[in-house]
Structure formats: C-alpha cells, structure tokens
Amino acid sequence: MDRRRVVVTGLGLVSPLGTGVEKTWEGLVNGRSGIRPIARFPAAEHTTRIAGEVKDFRAEDHVDRKEARRMDLFTQYAVAAARMALSASGLVIDEANADRVGVVVGSGIGGMSTWEETASVVATKGVRRISPFFVPQMIINMAAGQISILTGARGPNWGTVSACATGAHAIGEAARTIQYGDADAVIAGGAEASVTPMGIGGFCAMRALSTRNDEPERASRPFDRDRDGFVVAEGAGILMLEALDHALARGAPILAEFAGYAASSDAHHITAPPEDGAGAARCMRRALVDAGADPSAVGYVNAHGTSTPPGDPSETAAIKAVFGDHARRLAVSSTKSMTGHMLGAAGGAEAAITVLALQRGILPPTINLENPDPACDLDYVPNAARETKVDLALSNSFGFGGTNAVLAFRRFRG
C-alpha cells in the first residue's frame, strides 16, 4: 500500500537553555551554553559537578499542582513539552478524533529521582512507608500515559526505551504508525530527568563525563581535541506528527515533512561504538533509502556528537562512509555543545531543532570547537550559527547497547 506522507505541525521543548521552543532556539542560535554547576543537590563528592539543569521550569505552569506531585520530574517535562506541541499545532482532540490520535513518548532512564527518594525512605523508615505512587511515578511509559490522560488522546500509546536514541526511535515509530494508517496524528518524543546523585554518580563511575568543573560552559566540546567526556542534561523534546492529508484538511501549520527513518545495531560493545562507525553508517544509509533520497541531497546533519573521545571520531567516520566526497560540503553540528546530553530526551529535542533549522534557514553551531581533533575534520559549523537554507537534513541518535536511530526531515514545499 502507498504510505501516507507525514508532517510536523507542532514542537515542544524543555531544555537547559530554557522552557519553551523560542527560549531554546534563541540560546542555540546565539551559541549560548546551558551547562552550569549542579544546584539541585550537593555535588562536592562527585568528580563531575556540572550538568544541564532546567532552571526556569515550573510544573504548575503546565499541569495541576496536585497532579504534578504524583509525577516524576521526567513526566512533568514530557507533559509540558507535549502540551506546547499540541497547542502550537492547533489540533483539538475531541470525541470525534480522539481514537485516531496517539502518543509515543519514551525515556532512557525514567523516574530516577523517585527511585532514589524511595530507596532513602526504605532505608530510614522501612518498606511500609513506600508511597502508593512509587511505581506509577517511576515507570517509563507513564510519560506517554499521562499525556494521553491529560489530552484525551485514545490512539496507540506506549513508551520507547533505547538509551540516548529513545526520542528518535519514538518519533520514527510514531511516523510509521501514521504512514500505515493506525493513527492520523501522534505526539512523539522523549523526556529525561537524571540530574540526581545516583544519575551523575553512575556516569562518573564509568568515567564518561567531563570533569571541566571550573569551566562548565566550555565543558561540552564535541569534535574538539581537548574534549574529555559528555555533560549530563535533562528536559524534553516533543513533535506533533500528522498525516499530510489530515493536516491540510484542518489548515494546520506545517513546519517540515518527515522524510525517513531507520534503526540499526552496532552489535559491538555495551557503551563504545566501533571505530569505523559501521552501525551508524548503516542506519544513515537506510534512513536515506526510506526517504527516497540520494546522499548528495542532504545539506545538514544534527550529529549525535556527545563530546566523548571515542564517539565523535566514530560518527565522523560514519558520515564520511555514507556521504563520500559530499561529506566535505556537508554542514554538521552538535547542539549538545550547548544543551549538554539530554539522554533519552536528546533524540526528541534534536529532531525539533533540526525541524527549526530547516524551517528558519539557520544552522545552529557547535560551540567550544577551538582545537579540532585531526580525526574530526568535517564542517561542524564552528562557534557561530550560519544562515543557510537546506532542503533535507538528518538527525542522528546513538545509544548504549549499540542502538542507533536516524531521522530525515525535508523542508516542506507542499
């Protein structure tokens, strides 16, 4: 059967650069970092004491205060971003269409703060003091569940879990749900809130994080020779996806067209990518096939670009393998240089950023790129945003376990 065309009609962002699409975008195009010393808990004992916290978020601005108390922070972020995307799209969910609107929103880790707080209660007061809301607050699919409950969307409802590729997998699978006729519209993306003592401590134990504690704004430096690890961040990125015919029929704003999606596995290592980036390359190629596009048609790649010593050269090698000579003409940037690594929210947030780049004709930069790694020798849009109109862009998301997801978006031309 012919697949339905899918478009993006709304965006929602909660990030270390601010709550809301415009706050985040303004920070990105001005090359501003959202990384600061950790304020949420005493971090003196941690080897890394910096993170991308969302400083301006107020749950009560987005959800009833009583309901918010029954949600983990990652779910609060998800609900807020989903409501932004739904509102921006102008879609009204009612009895006539509720069965045809779905929600696919995931998280890499889920209710980390709820887990830690409950463990403390058990240790000090015993198991009988566990809250009856412990499990509903903690489980990952509750973000999608709460969005469904609060918006009335009664279509397919589930949560993806694939580490740092979570948000991208959610968007890709949501688009396929629409393409094959199981829904007309889907709220899709990812959320994360893992800036907690154990969340930061666990990554510190892996020696995965930057320890540039005295210069937090310069700590996330993808593709730079002096990078020393990633920076944990939090937030949510949500897209409102709709079938093109459905969007046109109601006069919806169309921000971009969803063009393609692919998923693959490295089958290599639990945390490290292969040096040649073979799994990522395979995923990009398949996404281009799904989009029916030649590699030369791509003008921009929002890279996974985590600022880790092994990850950045591996992704660079993958891009070269896929694009050949065109790789030298391709603009590539890592917005994690400004947001930090939002983990399960990263794929959703970066997909939204890619859509904005297409729609507004501005490519966000890779900041802190001062001494390029010789193994990372592409055009990473260093340090300043660039006004450039591109027609096709990719958003790369790769996660622990060797999981890969690539999304392709096209500038909408009708």
pTM, to two decimals? 0.98
Q: How confident is the model at residue 1 (pLDDT cuts 50, 70, 90)?
A: low
CA distance 356 to 386: 13
Q: What digits encode the pLDDT tens for the residues 301-321? A: 999 999 999 999 999 999 999
CA distance 174 to 182: 10
CA distance 147 to 379: 39
Q: Does the pLDDT of residue 283 top 90, yes or no?
A: yes
CA distance 220 to 204: 15
How confident is the model at residue 68, as a pLDDT?
94
Question: For residue 191, which of 402, 397, 406, 14 has the smallest C-alpha distance?
Answer: 14
Cα diameter, the chain? 64
Question: For residue 349, which of 288, 302, 292 has the smallest C-alpha distance?
Answer: 302
CA distance 23 to 25: 6
**Catalytically active residues, by annotation:** 164, 304, 341
Q: What digits encode the pLDDT tens for the residues 182-235? A: 999 999 999 999 999 999 999 999 999 999 999 999 999 999 999 999 999 999
CA distance 101 to 78: 17
CA distance 345 to 106: 8
Q: Does the pLDDT of residue 245 top 90, yes or no?
A: yes
Structure tokens at 91: 């879609």
CA distance 282 to 263: 9
CA distance 279 to 287: 12
In this structure, are residues 393 and 355 in contact, taking their beta carbons and an 8 Å threshold? no
CA distance 175 to 405: 13
In this structure, are residues 280 and 299 in contact, taking their beta carbons and an 8 Å threshold? no
